Structure 1
């Protein structure tokens, strides 16, 4: 079997946290390299820095055909990681992503046996770093990334909280800094059930680069209800489709301050389209995620918020009002809409989505 070099992927929304985590990895043991990348949309360039325990090994600015995260991965990230692996100089690589970058595109590539194998790489872990005392503010921040000059492309319409939430959801290892009851509870509510949370300064190479012999045991996630009486999660599920007119009319009642929501939904006017919901505060992204796979269609939306418990009741009421009724289901009133259902701006025209 060919020898491959393990790569741990690190995502953050704070350059200081990124550099702190990278430094901790470098001093944890010999044989580690750090690849750090930063995108500049204005100049359409990428700055690539490679360092190890001896200092900076490489620091160059690379022009990109398009200043976007996908192009950066294709044009520079994978080739550079491959050259680093092929050099024989390092045993492991930490890839510190551009600030606010989603780890999914690069982790998908590194987890693909053919793509990763061509470059002599394998995915070791995907980690995210968050600061607990500021997490409540950061997670529900609906300011566009472009306002903070953190957008990774001209069409990167994400808000800051969306970037934070995405990194928490996609990380297998969540590293936290500081102490805060609400921040700690939010991490536990948002991160995956089978993932691991550690204090940044307790994490070692065995956590970022686990092997069969050193793989840490996954501890059960604590009881969410006992973490904080201020943080809550509400799961809304229905096997019935949602009525497009009522959903459009009530959508503002489901995009609320201090609430994030994510999931899938089944729209009565688009029976074949799997619809995706991703909201932070007053910012809501709705998109088509392909066609429904075989089996039943259903809606599952998960909301996490802080504070007023009446918000949960309001969300449940707004959602229930959108679900098609027994009468609509039994009389065949649920059918493809002849007229515009109002969701073309998000989901495309219905003849294209069908």
Structure 2
């Protein structure tokens, strides 16, 4: 079978995969079934249901030619991520090799993030090779409940607060899932609109900024072929960005609308670690999303990764700045990163820079910018030099997580770590 994915992909022999995700289980299931029925050719559907994960099991369904094959999968040493990897990935390979299967629809449980699955397709070997040698991500579709999505995307509720969760160590929030699903999508499928027109308008304005490189449609009357054809050429189609990848894809509206605004904070001088720590509170109220790279004076060799969704904030180690490494070691990093660094290179700081994107829906973006700018080193602090910077109190705890199969040359952060992992 020779297939060509839209958006300028080259023709190849891999089986196209359509990933369907969303928080509302019924709407996501209806979207996945509509896509299965409407996709060209014979399409198989795969779904792992996590509602019995607390009992140590996953329920798996494979639908092919209107036949449902149900089975139970036992958790691998209590880890949802490992179980999905060890069952889902081989199942995708098996379906891709099944005669007559021309497309596969992967219906994700609400707890499973599409970015983690796509990362696993590209990075986790099964029998010595990765599954993306057999399947190619055609599109990621996000089923969005227009009546609830904005409240979920700005919520402080954890999965446990909603009676959900992928394990005792799964501390993710509802906002993380809502925002992560939409941000990684190539197309958004809306269910019934919110009864409150103001909520509907604001939801769509947030999504225009969070996921600008997406096609939109309604579930009622969904035309699968038309939706897939309208996905922009610059959509990600399963591509996973590391911490030094683009902070926004596409061209989001930069002007405020309906109380929704995008703030791009950029500067060359470093943050004072303690003042930055205090300023981060401004990113937790009235903010839907924050993503960014920062450098702090006490750790000039390592980039700090900032990411928030709703009322939850994560801080992590984004790896070394290129300026902190011998030039012969730069080849281990992506060409795009090295090109961007060379174009923005500073005589004093190299590629070190503050680059933070904030999407607000109920906060003063100018006040957030003011607080971040006040956290930068003053002229006097800057002139004191690195020996003094190293003595600044540093409240950030940076650590690495070894539950990962990543190649450091390919990605700085492993999104699979956030899916109820080991």
Do they superpose with TM above 0.5?
yes
Tell me which protein shows more strand as a share of its residues. 1
Q: Which of 299, 313, 329 is the aligned partner of 2:382?
A: 329
Q: Which of 175, 179, 201 is the aligned partner of 1:161?
A: 175
Q: Which of 359, 363, 366 is the aligned partner of 1:304?
A: 359
Q: CA deviation at 1:246?
A: 1.0
For 2:380 and 2:106, how far apart are their aligned partners in 1? Answer: 55
For 1:187, the equivalent position in structure 2 comes to: 207
Which range moves more in the overlay, 253-262 or 156-165? Answer: 253-262
1:15-56 Cα shifts (integer Å, max 9, x gaps):
112111012113215511110112343222221111145241
For 1:13, the equivalent position in structure 2 comes to: 23
For 2:293 and 2:113, how far apart are their aligned partners in 1? Answer: 20
1:158-183 Cα shifts (integer Å, max 9, x gaps):
11011111111111222222332111
Map 1:205-244; keep pairs closer than 5 Å. Answer: 205-206=224-225, 223=253, 225=255, 228-244=257-273
Which range moves more in the overlay, 28-37 or 155-164? Answer: 28-37
Gaps of 5+ in 1: 350-354
Q: CA deviation at 1:99?
A: 0.9
Closer/same/farther in 2, CA of residues 340 and 65 from structure 1, 3 Å limit: farther
2:153 and 2:310 in contact (8 A); partners too: no
1:64 and 1:75 in contact (8 A); partners too: no
Closer/same/farther in 2, CA of residues 217 and 272 from structure 1, 3 Å limit: closer
For 2:309 and 2:289, how far apart are their aligned partners in 1? Answer: 4
Q: CA deviation at 1:115?
A: 0.9
Q: CA deviation at 1:331?
A: 2.9
SS at match of 2:30: helix
SS at match of 1:36: strand
Q: How many matched pairs? A: 337
For 1:352, the equivalent position in structure 2 comes to: none
Which range moves more in the overlay, 331-340 or 275-284? Answer: 331-340
Gaps of 5+ in 2: 3-11, 194-199, 235-249, 324-340, 342-350, 401-422
1:111 and 1:122 in contact (8 A); partners too: no
Q: CA deviation at 1:241?
A: 1.2
Closer/same/farther in 2, CA of residues 121 and 326 from structure 1, 3 Å limit: same
Q: Which of 341, 348, 354 is the aligned partner of 2:399?
A: 348
For 1:155 and 1:168, how far apart are their aligned partners in 2? Answer: 24
Does 2:274 align with 1:250?
no
Q: CA deviation at 1:68?
A: 3.7
For 2:330, the equivalent position in structure 1 comes to: none
Q: Which of 314, 317, 323 is the aligned partner of 2:367?
A: 314
1:305-351 Cα shifts (integer Å, max 9, x gaps):
2235xx2232122111111122222231675534751112xx139xx
Q: CA deviation at 1:70?
A: 2.7
TM-score normalized by structure 1? 0.85
For 2:221 and 2:320, how far apart are their aligned partners in 1? Answer: 43
For 2:85 and 2:288, how far apart are their aligned partners in 1? Answer: 35
Which range moves more in the overlay, 289-298 or 19-28? Answer: 289-298
For 1:35 and 1:140, how far apart are their aligned partners in 2? Answer: 30
1:45-79 Cα shifts (integer Å, max 9, x gaps):
221111145241x1111112144443133210111
For 2:137, the equivalent position in structure 1 comes to: 123
Map 1:79-118; keep pairs closer than 5 Å. Answer: 79-111=90-122, 114-116=129-131
Hey, which bits of structure 1, 4+ residues long, moved more than 6 A?
A: none
Higher relative contact order (CA 8 A, sep 6+): 2
Two-structure CA RMSD over aligned residues (Å): 2.8
SS at match of 2:61: strand
